Amino acid sequence: LPPQTWSNSVYQTSKRNLLAWEKETGIKLVQINGQRRYGGPPPGWMGGPPPAGTEVYIGKLPPDVYEDTLIPLFQSVGKLYEFRLMMTFSGLNRGFAYARYCTPQTAQVAIATFNHFQVRRGCAILVCRSIQKRELMLDGLAASVSQWELEPTLRRVTKGMLSITLHSSPSEREAMLAVLKYNSHQAATMAKKTLTQGALRLRGLGMRVDWLHHDLKQKLQLWQQRPPSSQLHESKSLAAPKPLALSPVVQSVLDHLNILCWRQRLGTPVLFTKCIRVTPDGWLRFWYHVMIAGYPEPFSGFMWIRKQGQGQSAHEEAKAAVAQRILHELGESL
């Protein structure tokens, strides 16, 4: 039998029971993007969504166990805000689900009650705290790729991206790795699916998309904290971790620009600086490029600076000077 015909022919009893339960209870299940969802919010819900720490992961589910069994079971310890069962595109259960409760305390009770619970004889399920992953990695990008080329493209094909940072790839020579942070696990999941399906095209280059794992994140942070061999390296992003805290003066200017953009609902400014010339008497010529999502065009140009502060890199002082120039461009001064 073709796969679609086969999938429609199995678990017929379980599927009939699910349909009868939906009709009896009036519960509406919506299937979209590889998952079938109840609630989020449930009927009669007032106010915003529950806080962090209210979702549990449910694994090792038998393939023929559906919501008519799972929702009443997990509701027995407290009210569900949302229940999501992962499904194949042919309608089969993928073996795991997520239950989100109204309080973190109820989620803890669900973990204590149902971890290793036998939904049927010999079928013990796994229930634990859901880890809300929000960071992805794109590995294998060309060494020549730039953040101001990559970021607009990613924002166009994915939703909810908070930041992007570029690093040298730890697995490939002369390649780059991008770390993408999203505003929710759901946004990151959808972005992963979109990028895996090949929505991103950069000069025909291939790339690998995966969750940013903890060990790799730590490794990138350690590399970022190494002292640079020269202060003339390109500074890629304000969002990149810094080995030293910014001086109060530099931080004040950058904070002022961020607050102004926030008040005017322009989005977070992203600054790039590159030193292109150093004179014998200590002057440095910088190229800069500033992107503000809500502003019609980027700011670009050149400026001379002479390093003044102790313990701060020339790039940090250049960013402060650029930020002050942008403040004047936006009609604001310190």
Q: Do domains 3-129 and 135-222 have the same CATH topology?
A: yes
Helix axes 314-329, 248-263, angle to 10 degrees: 30
Give the tens place of pLDDT for each residue, 91-133: 778 899 999 999 999 999 999 999 999 999 899 999 998 877 8
Percent of the chain at pLDDT > 90 equals 26
Residue 17 CA, chain-centre distance (Å), reads: 38
CA-CA-CA-CA torsion sign (80, 84, 85, 91): positive
> What is the structure's pLDDT at 35?
87
**How far apart are the C-alpha atoms of 130 and 32, rounded to whole Å?**
20
**How far apart are the C-alpha atoms of 224 and 204, rounded to whole Å?**
29
Give the tens place of pLDDT for each residue, 288-304: 888 887 777 788 888 88
Mean pLDDT of 213-217: 78
Percent of the chain at pLDDT > 70 equals 82
Pick the CATH number of 135-222 from 3.30.565.10, 2.40.30.10, 3.30.1330.40, 3.30.70.330: 3.30.70.330
> Per residue in 104-119, is it b (16+ CB within 10 Å) or e — as a string?
eebbbebbeebeeeeb
Mean pLDDT of 155-162: 88
> What is the structure's pLDDT at 67?
96
Give the tens place of pLDDT for each residue, 19-44: 999 999 999 999 887 789 999 999 99
> What is the structure's pLDDT at 311?
54
Kindly indicate the confidence band of residue 319, based on its pLDDT and cuts at 50, 70 and 90.
confident
Mean pLDDT of 259-276: 82
CATH hierarchy code of domain 250-330? 3.30.160.20
Kindly indicate the confidence band of residue 201, based on its pLDDT and cuts at 50, 70 and 90.
low
Res. 226: pLDDT tops 50: no
Kindly indicate the confidence band of residue 235, based on its pLDDT and cuts at 50, 70 and 90.
very low
> What is the structure's pLDDT at 24?
94
The phi and psi torsions of 118 (rounded to 5 degrees) equal -90, 105
In this predicted model, which residue has the larger pLDDT, 138 or 334? 138
**Average pLDDT over the chain, rounded to an integer:** 80
Res. 249: pLDDT tops 60: no
Kindly indicate the confidence band of residue 206, based on its pLDDT and cuts at 50, 70 and 90.
low
Q: What is the DSSP letter of 235?
A: B
**How far apart are the C-alpha atoms of 58 and 84, rounded to whole Å?**
10
Give the residue extent of every domain in the chain: 3-129, 135-222, 250-330
Task: Give this prediction's pTM.
Answer: 0.52
Superfamily of domain 3-129: RRM (RNA recognition motif) domain (3.30.70.330)
Res. 79: pLDDT tops 50: yes
In this predicted model, which residue has the larger pLDDT, 124 or 1? 124
Q: How far is CA 269 from CA 30, 141, 163, 266, in A?
A: 38, 24, 11, 8
Mean pLDDT of 188-216: 77
CA-CA-CA-CA torsion sign (118, 123, 128, 134): negative
